[in-house]
Structure 1
Amino acid sequence: MVHMFVLFCLCRLVGVFAGTDAVKSVSVTEGDSVSLNSGVTDMMNEDLILWRFGDENTLIAQINVMTGSITVYDDVLDGRFRDRLKLDDQTGSLTITHTTTEHTGDYKLQTNSGRKSFSLTVFTRLPVPVIIRYCSSSSSSNCLLLCSVLNVSVATLSWYAGISVLSSISVCDLSISLSLPLEVEYQDKNTYSCVLNNPISNQTTHLDIHTLCHTCAEGHAPCCDSVEAVLRLVVTALMGVASATAVVLLVNDVRASRG
């Protein structure tokens, strides 16, 4: 029997502006480069090309076509764009390299031809979900599993049976840890996977039932470790170091799911 646990998160994804045709939404994964296309085809028709960022319309780059000079303003906004901006001298298009989440926001282009607006969303790189088995204080003839990830934002963690979603939990705009339980029979022949995804990427871990959901040879009893001990291994796998704080958070999640 599959344990159904669904938590829905209602949130506004950054970069989605329903009903605003003039704003082009662009998404990129943190660390990658992204280009905002100016649409300019003939620089001889332009005098100045100006790029601004954020609610304050801070000038971050410009091309003076008359003098042929290109200027990027590295020191504005606490230097978040330092050594990251490139302007195409043939089109005026703006490229942001080595992106971080600080570059998420609205970009505005001003030329003689008109104005264009872009909404850029920079998503953090997704970690690989870790699946563990845990023991419950209540008697259960099924295998109890937990899929966990640490420090994610604007993402959804889901259990799948084949291509069907069994349960999911989402986080919006915060960096927190997610855990999602699953209960299966020991002889279950279905194919299960745990998937972490955001609008542009995903990470998948496939469940090996034969490895995790085995019984101890003696008495054919369920064979698994305590929740606390196993979760310490999860933290080590996810972060590379043991984090007592993260362990406590995950232990609380499991205890809450056990009721």
Structure 2
Amino acid sequence: MLTDDQLDRYARHIVLREVGGIGQQKLLDSKVLVIGAGGLGSPLILYLAAAGVGTIGVVDDDVVDLSNLQRQIAHGTAQIGTPKVESAKAAVARINPDVKIVPHAERLIRGNVRKLFQYYDLVADGSDNFETRFLINDACYFLNKPLVSAAMLQFEGQLSTYKPYLGEGHPCYRCIFPSPPPADVARTCGEAGVLGALAGTMGSLQAVEVLKELLDIGQSMSGQLLIYDALYADFRKVRVKPDPGCPLCGDQPAIKEDF
């Protein structure tokens, strides 16, 4: 049963036919792991907390830096030097006392990925490097966890949901991006730049897809890649099929579970 305060707080959800009181309780019972409390993770964490997702784990080993504040809205000037997971926890506490934030002040590696992922219903990737993205994808495949992933650089963002463990029609991240680009091609936001407000757009879209997956409503983004060009206000969706030659989920997989 929702409390009176919760009925007021989530009233705009409850009147939605697709959510209602049952859906809101489902969100309160859900556990989401967010990788990265930076540009994407900041709006994602705040909107999931506002929506009443009951448990949000946050994985990040970095501290707040002045250069983060142009886009990482979960943090402020007073938090410079503070671990991002603690700053994000404080920001959520100001928004919604219903939500439990579990800070994981560590870097995601093969040695801890199973321990971190097994507790959560869904993983949301807001990381900023390909090594971590591939690790997250592989772990979600082997552990049967839905993955909602967003990325951005300069004026462009990308978003998709990956559920390859469901089989036919559900590609994984490696089906689209088989391997990391060469080091001299792969650039970070620190190297190439990024429009700060783009992080808000992509993180908010990512939050919507997470909520849809938790509630099992609407059309999943699995099998589709959303591309947003901020300079031209252009959204387009590209249909993506599983790759039979994918080294993870293809016909002859070469990647083995090693974590």
* TM-score, normalised via structure 1 length: 0.24
- Normalised to the residue count of structure 2, the TM-score between the two structures is 0.24
